Amino acid sequence: MSKILCIDYGTKNVGIAISDATQIMAFAKPVLSNDADLLKNLRHFIVNEQIGSVVIGMPHTGNKDLDLEVFKQKLQSEFPTISVEFINEDYSTSEAYELMETIGLSELEQKKLKDSYAALVMLNKHINA
């Protein structure tokens, strides 16, 4: 098995979480800025963590987000040997807030980390499905 990178893509911030190589556990990583360095920063994680596949959160309610489709295509072009797919992100942010409150993070920490914890929630659901 290989590690999975989960992405909670936003217009300002991008939350990420990475599974272990056995795909049993997942770990939230620092939130990335959605800027010109995003692909370079993702490359760092993909190469250094030996990522085998990427999953991107997409809401199943409403219309598909064109920005997410474009982002997925960029990832597939940049990393042609890695599988990239969408997974359901519905309620991941609210579940992330519940998780962060349970582990005792302050409101300020929760605000900073919500995107990566949303990715963590999605990834945990994905690997436990």
Residue 2: CB atoms within 10 Å:
14
Q: What's this model's pTM, rounded to 2 decimal places?
A: 0.93
DSSP state of 122: H
* CATH number where 57 lies: 3.30.420.140
How many structural domains compose the chain?
1
Which tens digit of pLDDT belongs to each residue from 18-29?
999 999 999 999
Closest CA to 47 of 5, 110, 98, 94: 5
The pLDDT-based confidence of 129 (bands split at 50, 70, 90) is: confident
Please tell me the predicted confidence (pLDDT) of residue 64.
61
User: Is residue 41 predicted with pLDDT exceeding 70?
Assistant: yes
Look up tokens 């489709």; give the residue.
Answer: 69
Over residues 7-21, mean pLDDT:
96
Q: How far is CA 115 from CA 22, 27, 69, 80, 89, in A?
A: 24, 13, 19, 26, 11
Task: Determine the structural domain holding residue 93 and report its residue range.
Answer: 3-127
